[in-house]
Amino acid sequence: MSTLKPPTLRVDLKLCTGCRSCTIACALSHEHHLAFQTARIRVEKNFPAMKTPIFKPVFCRMCRNARCIVACPTGALTEDPATGMVNLNGALCDGCGECVTACPFDAIWLDERRGVAIKCDLCGGDPACVRACAPGALVFDGVKTALQQGR
């Protein structure tokens, strides 16, 4: 297990407008067409009574001691020892959904078209969602440091 803080995204909920630019950018970046169901980030909305709507981007938090890794029977999910990132090897995934059930943040879901799990991979160190977030609600956290130290 890595001693580094795993790279991840942070979100400022006060800045998120629910525009879903992050979801669009993610889908286009990974699938090269607009397919919301295959984006690795989703935006949930909550409308509390008598209050302003709250929008919450949902994405992999790159947990330490990740439950999804423990739950995966095929070894498709692993932790990169150099960076602490939780990686998904789609070629090893059998689509059983155990990782989906195990994730306490609902940040992994199944791509029904391919029958495999999908999750945020931080776009290899330059997340499309962060670049597309005009309000600045999404922020890269620790990725460059972790990736540089892992070399």
Looking at the structure of the chain, the number of domains it has is 1
At residue 50, the pLDDT reads 65
pLDDT, tens only, 47-92? 777 678 889 999 999 998 999 999 999 999 999 988 889 999 999 9
What is the DSSP pairing of strand 54-58 with strand 42-46? Answer: antiparallel
Beta bridge partners of 8: 141
Entry pTM: 0.85
Amino acid at position 54, single letter: I
Rounded CA gap, 141 and 120, in Å? 14
In degrees, rounded to 5, the angle at the alpha carbon of residue 119 between the alpha carbons of residues 55 and 89 is: 175
Contacts of 49 (CB under 8 A, 6+ apart): none
Provide the residue range defining the domain that includes 134.
8-149
In degrees, rounded to 5, the angle at the alpha carbon of residue 41 between the alpha carbons of residues 39 and 47 is: 120
Q: Give the CATH number for residue 136.
A: 3.30.70.20
pLDDT, tens only, 125-147? 899 999 999 999 999 986 444 44
